[in-house]
Amino acid sequence: MSSRPSTSSATTLFYTTSDDSSDVSLSKQKSQQQPVRRLQRTKKEPLIAIVGRPNVGKSALVNRIAGTQSGGAIVADESGITRDRTYRPAEFLGERFQVVDTGGLVFDDDENTIFAKEIREQAMVAIEESAAVIMVVDGQAGLTAMDSAIAEFLRKEVVKDIPVFVAVNKCESETTGALATAGFWELGLGEPFAVSALHGVGTAEILETAFKAMGDQKSTIEGFGTKVEKLQLAKKNMKHKGPLPWEDDTDYKMRKYGLGDAAQRVIDDYDKALAAFDEEERPEEINVAIVGRPNVGKSSLLNAIFGDTRAIVSDVAGTTRDSIDALMERPPPPGSDETSTIYRFVDTAGIRRKGKVQYGPEFFMVNRALRAIRRADVVLLILDATSGVTEQDRVLAQKISDDGRACVIICNKWDAVVDKDSSTYDKSVKYFREELPQVRWAPILFLSAATGQRVGKIYGAVDEAIEAHRKRITTSVLNEVLRDAILWQPPPARRNGAQAKIYYCNQVSTRPPTVVVFCNDPKLVNDNYRRYLDRKFRESLDGFEATPIRWIYRGRRVRDIMRGGRSMNGTPGDGGSGTSFPFPHAD
């Protein structure tokens, strides 16, 4: 007789993990969500812009200041590597700030300067946002006409609002460094600093001066950069022998023996100065990586989300070089104690086939993109709706699934699809599902980054993907689904009669949801049956539509086998002599 349950039709059993009241509260919570906006930059973490002509070491200096020599901005001995502005967090003297790397500034456009106008626009935006500017020049090449043109612009337009400093890069030698910097006094931007981005020479001196100047010109909050000075002064006051400026002889004598208000004031000043170095709690950031093959509209989508020209866009494949971040914020509902939700969208370089990528700048671009996938909470896989699915799209989909990342499929350029009718959408969904079986569980959005059509739906898809990626199901519900799946379709048997026996399962982790299935021998559970279990779990449980489920099949332990074939089931304490069932609590 068949062991399948008798049903009048092939109806999928559905197990709910929450009651109706929680669903109502969830829908009410979603209806109270605030609109998403750009994350406002505060003076508490000022921004320092790094500018200069091409190939003088701006990206290397950014990596040195931010401490990202490995995995930071791409550095190569050729001009034009950096095009968009990229932000890096940094810390110095206990103060947190940000540095923004910009492309090489060129004011005279010609046919050899690619994207010169766009790079200038990006650099101007970085200067407008910044609290200080560091102009980088090449100490070995000396003063050039391009350096003079940039300095003239900074003198006329920038110096009156924020401080500007000159960093003479490639001055590793102490003997020749002063001589190399002497020629840059002509720029009229004050004392040039001899620095070496490669070795770190002079970076502390220029940052200390920049912090002091930002405080003097009030381009940042009052007291920025004085944490170390206050701590040193508090330590000095605790060890000071003699009356302090605000003490008389009586207060000093009482403080000497740890008595009175003066002694408590010194201790409080020290504790306050020390507590200033404690890290403040920050709201959790949801990392969203935008990946895809070249020229599918990744940067256009980032600009549509950001609402401005955050990344340079052109019809030339490979325009984006480095990973570009855009921070968006969803404020909490009014009257609630919740924190804001921060979305960090990361635009990556287009990933070509591995055989076409040569060692060089593109090699590091692809590595940055693959690293963005591993670090992301949600990956937006961008496809071209006009050209369909390519082999490279399948490779990226497999990479996302293998890394265990939540995924949303974005079919861009939906406005360019011709002859659309009422059935075009359903046919397109079916096509992409069949062509991308690696991420068959991922939701699909059809939108247009150029016109902004349905771009706002990305946030809802990202929130649902995050919820699915962090979802946890109780063991009892998992085992009920597993029991019904086994009763509906038992594990297949081999020709020699060997058959897998699945005992039970439980979820051991999230991000992605990981389920351990205990059986007699994992080798007896073939790939087809594993895909069957994955499908049955997704059909029976709600909330796994945007995340992979990682399955781990674990066999019997060696000591259980050495017991002479005793079963793993039965009454606890009887040595495993009970009756063996295909499932622990099966009737």
CA–CA distance, 55 with 81 (Å, rounded to integer): 9
Q: Which residues contact 528 (CB under 8 A, 6 or more apart)?
A: 492
CA–CA distance, 226 with 149 (Å, rounded to integer): 35
pLDDT at 221 over 90: no
Give the pLDDT score at 316. Answer: 76
DSSP 301: H
In this prediction, residues 565-580 reach a mean pLDDT of 43
In this prediction, residues 447-453 reach a mean pLDDT of 92
Give the pLDDT score at 80. Answer: 66
Give the pLDDT score at 301. Answer: 93
Give the pLDDT score at 15. Answer: 59
Backbone angles phi, psi at 507, to 5 degrees: -90, 130
Q: Of the ranges 11-15, 67-71, 73-77, 458-462, which is most confident?
A: 458-462
In this prediction, residues 22-48 reach a mean pLDDT of 67
Fold matches, 285-469 and 475-561: no
Beta pairing partners, 453? 448
pLDDT at 333 over 90: no
Give percent of the chain above pLDDT 70: 86
Give the pLDDT score at 278. Answer: 77
Which position has the higher pLDDT, 320 or 383?
A: 383
Structure tokens belonging to residue 554:
């674990």
Structure tokens belonging to residue 376:
């992301």
Give the pLDDT score at 79. Answer: 67
Q: Of the ranges 122-126, 442-446, 574-578, 583-587, which is most confident?
A: 442-446
Which position has the higher pLDDT, 279 or 327?
A: 327
pLDDT at 575 over 60: no
CA–CA distance, 182 with 171 (Å, rounded to integer): 12
Give the pLDDT score at 161. Answer: 87
Give the pLDDT score at 112. Answer: 60
Which CATH superfamily is 285-469 part of? P-loop containing nucleotide triphosphate hydrolases (3.40.50.300)
Indicate the pTM of the whole model: 0.80
> For the chain, what are the domain ranges?
47-216, 227-275, 285-469, 475-561
pLDDT at 25 over 60: no
> What pLDDT, in 10s, does the model give residues 147-176?
999 999 999 989 888 999 999 998 887 777
pLDDT tier, 442 (very low <50, low <70, confident <90, very high otherwise) = very high
Give the pLDDT score at 23. Answer: 47
> What pLDDT, in 10s, does the model give residues 463-478?
999 999 999 999 999 9
CA–CA distance, 569 with 330 (Å, rounded to integer): 51
Give the pLDDT score at 313. Answer: 82
> What pLDDT, in 10s, does the model give residues 521-561?
899 999 999 999 999 999 999 889 899 999 999 987 655 55
Give the pLDDT score at 474. Answer: 93
Give the pLDDT score at 587. Answer: 38
For residues 129 and 41, is the Cβ–Cβ distance under 8 A?
yes
pLDDT at 315 over 50: yes
47-216 belongs to CATH 3.40.50.300: yes
Q: Are strands 514-519 and 502-509 parallel, antiparallel or unpaired?
A: antiparallel
- What count of other Cβ atoms lies within 10 Å of the Cβ of residue 570? 16
**What's the angle, vertex CA 455, arms to CA 453 and CA 457, rounded to 5?**
115
Q: How far is CA 331 from each of CA 39, 453, 533, rounded to the nearest angstrom?
A: 10, 24, 40
pLDDT tier, 572 (very low <50, low <70, confident <90, very high otherwise) = very low
Q: Which of 223-237, 384-398, 501-515 is the least confident region?
A: 223-237
Closest CA to 346 of 241, 225, 462: 462
Q: Tell me what the pLDDT averaged over the chain comes to.
A: 83
Q: Of the ranges 79-88, 109-118, 129-138, which is most confident?
A: 129-138
pLDDT tier, 310 (very low <50, low <70, confident <90, very high otherwise) = confident
Structure tokens belonging to residue 521:
């021998």
CATH topology of domain 475-561: GMP Synthetase; Chain A, domain 3 (3.30.300)
pLDDT tier, 29 (very low <50, low <70, confident <90, very high otherwise) = low
